[in-house]
Amino acid sequence: MNVLANDGISASGKAKLEAAGFKVITDTVAQEKLADFINENDVKALCVRSATTVRKDLIDACPGLKFIGRGGVGMDNIDVEYAREKGRTVANTPASSSQSVAELVMGQLFSLARSTYDANKEMPVKGSAEFKALKKKYAKGFELRGKTLGIVGFGRIGKALAGYALGVGMKVICTDVFDVDTNVKVHIEGHGDVDVQVKKVDMKTLLTSSDAISVHIPKQANGKPVFGHHELSMMIRGAVLVNAARGGVIDEDALIGVLKKGHLNAAALDVFENEPSPREDLLKTEKLATTPHIGAATVEAQDRIGEELADLIIADLKS
């Protein structure tokens, strides 16, 4: 049976599938040619990340497709319910990338706190001639220890982030539309896990109580941002904001506005509304640190994602 990993798959995941008798195709097929390719090559399983979409038209056009796998957490690029109604198996790998995303967010928080994201751009250009001026410019950083981190969306990634934040001495609160378990295990290497109960609050309380906020929720079905001008204006003046979840969760125009006005100290985005072509004015906004959707892009996470996808495909198509 043929598997098309249209957005790639780790070598370990590919090897596991091949050992089980599958042929793994890693060619990247253009979206408009995808249906024909799947049918012509009798593809039974399609694996995607965020670049490829699997909508109703593709599902209807490919009757031989049995399995649709998403390497990662969100499945907003797949018409999941429709596919399942049509008898397809749809699965993702929600646990595989949690640690990698959480570590990226912690890196962003440290970078925002000390403005290293900006200093790293300025020093090669002005460091030799304007060293003292740059030293003065970046001498107003703050420590994360003792600050309050508000986590919006307390699933696997939110909990992983909470463990890291608690480990560096931050206070952590969370909010979630679901009735989630807020117990977090903080792992201390060589000493085991420490259980910590994180306080769950409503959105208003989180916005008005957090020195830093990290967003870990999917793009809303209605397409409206969760963080618009009203919500951003409610945040503590001088707070920082990180989004490594999905583009569209934060209103980009509103974010540019609060950064320009100085209401927020800084923000970091790993995701954008118009990927893979985010707007240039946003990318050039001062006090904004940006990365090209690399939250889950670590060697370890990609290995876990590929191997978990392989296990899911084998279990579904070989059973």
Catalytic site positions: 246, 275, 293
SS3 letters across the chain: CEEEECCCCCHHHHHHHHHCCCEEECCCCCHHHHHHHHHHCCEEEEEECCCCCECHHHHHHCCCCCEEEECCCCCCCECHHHHHHCCCEEEECCCCCHHHHHHHHHHHHHHHHHCHHHHHHHHHHHCCCCHHHHHHHCCCCCCCCCCEEEEECCCHHHHHHHHHHHHCCCEEEEECCCCCCCEEEEEECCCEEEEEECEECCHHHHHHHCCEEEECCCCCCCCCCCECHHHHHHCCCCCEEEECCCCCCECHHHHHHHHHHCCCCEEEECCCCCCCCCCHHHHCCCCEEECCCCCCCCHHHHHHHHHHHHHHHHHHHCC
